[in-house]
């Protein structure tokens, strides 16, 4: 080796050393940054700061008691949830709710976000989770909040457990930590997501996030509460009409309402008004809408009316054909699970599923679309029935192909038939079409014959946005 070569080798070595050192330094820096992001605060929020969402709050009140008196539950060997999953649209107050939980229980609040863990150095995410739990355990009782849990807890595709991803490692660390502390520690992990459908089912198993609470977009009453909550902190002129603002804000989340009131307050300040007035809110509303891609108020109102008739159809036919099915609520506010919606609960889930029962269920599924057709005409049906159609088709296929309930194919399983004989399933397709068409026709007639009732329900829904079963039944003469 001549001296040039030696110099070159030294040069390369210095360069490599420099790069490695630099990487190490920035990795260290990143660790420090991440640790600082574990944000600890004592929360002064209470459930009073959260408007609406009555049922979610009730469910969380039980958790408050559990954090305060873990021994009480341990003595009974009652297993309380270690993990609570809050799911629902963005801005509906999930973070607020978790803070209020910590505030009510009077314990520290540790918050991280799943998105912070994406694209960090290998092993860092898992280490950070372990650190977080170590800190929380040291402080005794606490609420650990993980926002955007979907960023680390995504469904693994095709059950393919690679276990090599940084996300997987972080998730595994989380699950290990959660099973690693006892039921009597008074630590509760609260996670939030806008997309429960993308979550790995491993997260939802018992002993993990087994308490799942939906945080819904506010209905008219809840919106009034939220508006009131924020206006009560300001000087408000007499011309302000809460009902009007509630009507204006259909499909708004809590965060959007808070933003609207804040915008209105800014306008008031700009104009040196000493009070916030209805006109300030009106103008703020136009600003807020212009700034986003939100549909305008008129379109929202039209959408609400169409949805009201659709849901009224479901609700009426359900009460009429299957009165033993309890309706928890009928609502025109979309949920994360699908558009609009009525929530059913069957009496005890153990009723015998007869042929008649399946036909009735098909009719209930079709009643939304049927009502659209009856009240707005065949040409004006909407995409709102997509989900209903999917469910009905699947049920009808089983009716024909698996349950052997069709008169022309008694006791035949078509899956077996096609596997063993390699025949085409065109009979099933024809029969499914015939069955669905027949029941749809009956459903349209049923709605037509009860036009007044269905339209009364729809009008009430447009006005109130949510109806309970009692309210629904009180409308029957």
Which residues are at the interface with Zn ion (CB under 5 A)?
368, 388
Q: Are strands 466-468 and 326-331 parallel, antiparallel or unpaired?
A: antiparallel
Residue 142: strand, helix, or coil: strand
User: By C-beta, is 50 or 80 nearer to ligand ADP?
Assistant: 50
Should residue 265 be labelled a site residue for ligand ADP when binding is judged by CB under 6 A? Answer: no
On whether the CB atoms of residues 129 and 136 are closer than 8 A, the answer is: no
Query: Residue 295 gets which letter from DSSP?
Result: P
DSSP H helical ranges for 38-69: 54-68
Which candidate, 44, 145, 134, 41, places its Cα nearest to that of 86?
A: 145
Q: Which of 168, 177, 200, 258 binds ligand ADP (CB under 6 A)?
A: 258
Binders of ligand ADP in range 140-169 (CB under 6 A): none
Marked catalytic residue, from 311, 373, 465, 469: 311
Query: How many CB atoms neighbour CB 160 within 10 A?
Result: 7
**Can you spell out the DSSP letters for 318-357?**
HHHH-TTSEEEEEESS-BTTBSS-EEEE-SSS-S---HHH
Q: Which of 192, 261, 264, 461 binds ligand ADP (CB under 6 A)?
A: 192
Query: How many CB atoms neighbour CB 95 within 10 A?
Result: 18
User: By C-beta, is 114 or 368 nearer to ligand ADP?
Assistant: 114
Site pattern 51..70 for ligand ADP (x: CB under 6 A): xxx-----------------
**Can you spell out the DSSP letters for 172-210?**
HHHHHHHHHS-TTS-EEEEEEES-GGGB-GGGGSTTSS-
Q: From CA 120, how far away is CA 193, in angstroms rounded?
A: 21
Should residue 191 be labelled a site residue for ligand ADP when binding is judged by CB under 6 A? Answer: no
Should residue 384 be labelled a site residue for ligand ADP when binding is judged by CB under 6 A? Answer: no
Should residue 284 be labelled a site residue for ligand ADP when binding is judged by CB under 6 A? Answer: no
User: By C-beta, is 262 or 279 nearer to ligand ADP?
Assistant: 262
User: By C-beta, is 50 or 281 nearer to ligand ADP?
Assistant: 50
How many residues comprise the chain? 477
Q: Assess whether 448 carries a catalytic annotation.
A: no
Q: Which of 18, 23, 44, 90 binds ligand ADP (CB under 6 A)?
A: 90
Q: Which of 67, 149, 216, 229 binds ligand ADP (CB under 6 A)?
A: 229
User: By C-beta, is 95 or 450 nearer to ligand ADP?
Assistant: 95
Helices (H) and strands (E) in the chain, counts: 17, 9
Should residue 50 be labelled a site residue for ligand ADP when binding is judged by CB under 6 A? Answer: yes
User: Residue 361: which of ligand ADP, Zn ion, none does it interact with, CB under 5 to 8 A by kind?
Assistant: none
Should residue 96 be labelled a site residue for ligand ADP when binding is judged by CB under 6 A? Answer: yes
Query: What is the smallest separation between the CB atom of 38 and ligand ADP, expressed in angstroms?
Result: 18
- Minimal CB distance residue for ligand ADP: 254
User: Looking at the annotation, which residues are catalytic?
Assistant: 311
């Amino acid at each position: 080796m001549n001296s040039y070569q030696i110099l070159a080798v030294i040069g390369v070595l210095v360069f490599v050393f420099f790069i490695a050192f630099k990487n190490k330094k920035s990795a260290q820096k990143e660790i420090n940054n991440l640790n600082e992001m574990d944000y600890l605060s004592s929360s002064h929020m209470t459930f009073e700061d959260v408007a609406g969402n009555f049922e979610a709050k009730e469910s969380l009140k039980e958790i408050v008691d559990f954090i305060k008196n873990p021994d009480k539950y341990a003595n009974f060997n009652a297993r309380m949830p270690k993990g609570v999953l809050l799911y629902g649209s963005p801005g509906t107050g999930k973070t607020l709710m978790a803070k209020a939980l910590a505030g009510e229980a009077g314990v520290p609040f540790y918050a991280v976000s799943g998105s912070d863990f994406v694209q960090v150095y290998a092993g860092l995410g898992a280490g950070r989770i372990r650190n977080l739990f170590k800190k929380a355990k040291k402080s005794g009782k606490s609420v650990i909040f993980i926002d955007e849990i979907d960023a680390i807890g995504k469904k693994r595709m095709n059950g393919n457990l690679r276990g090599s991803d940084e996300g997987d490692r972080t998730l595994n660390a989380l699950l290990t930590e959660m099973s690693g502390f006892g039921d009597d520690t008074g630590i509760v992990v609260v996670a939030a997501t806008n997309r429960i459908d993308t979550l790995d089912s491993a997260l939802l198993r018992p002993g993990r996030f087994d308490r799942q609470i939906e945080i819904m977009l506010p209905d008219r009453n809840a919106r009034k509460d939220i508006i009131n909550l924020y206006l009560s902190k300001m000087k408000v002129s007499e011309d302000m009409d809460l009902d009007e603002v509630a009507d204006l804000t259909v499909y708004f989340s809590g965060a959007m309402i808070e933003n609207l009131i804040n915008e209105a307050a800014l306008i008031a300040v700009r104009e040196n008004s000493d009070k916030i007035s209805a006109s300030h809110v009106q103008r703020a509303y136009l600003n807020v809408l212009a700034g986003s891609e939100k549909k305008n108020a008129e379109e929202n109102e039209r959408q609400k009316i169409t949805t009201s008739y659709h849901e009224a159809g479901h609700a009426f036919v359900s009460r009429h054909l299957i009165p033993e099915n309890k309706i928890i609520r009928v609502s025109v506010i979309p949920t994360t699970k699908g558009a609009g919606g009525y929530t059913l609960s069957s009496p005890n889930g153990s009723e015998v599923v007869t042929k008649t029962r399946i036909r009735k269920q098909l009719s209930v599924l079709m009643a939304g679309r049927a009502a659209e057709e009856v009240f707005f005409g065949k040409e004006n049906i909407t995409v709102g029935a997509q989900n209903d159609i999917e469910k009905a088709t699947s049920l009808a296929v089983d009716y024909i192909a698996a349950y052997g309930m069709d008169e022309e194919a008694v006791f035949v399983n078509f899956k077996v038939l096609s596997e063993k004989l390699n025949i085409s399933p065109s009979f099933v397709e024809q029969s499914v079409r015939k069955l669905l068409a027949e029941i749809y026709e009956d459903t349209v007639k049923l709605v037509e014959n009860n036009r007044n009732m269905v339209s009364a329900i729809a009008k009430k829904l447009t006005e109130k946005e949510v109806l309970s079963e009692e309210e629904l039944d009180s409308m029957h003469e």
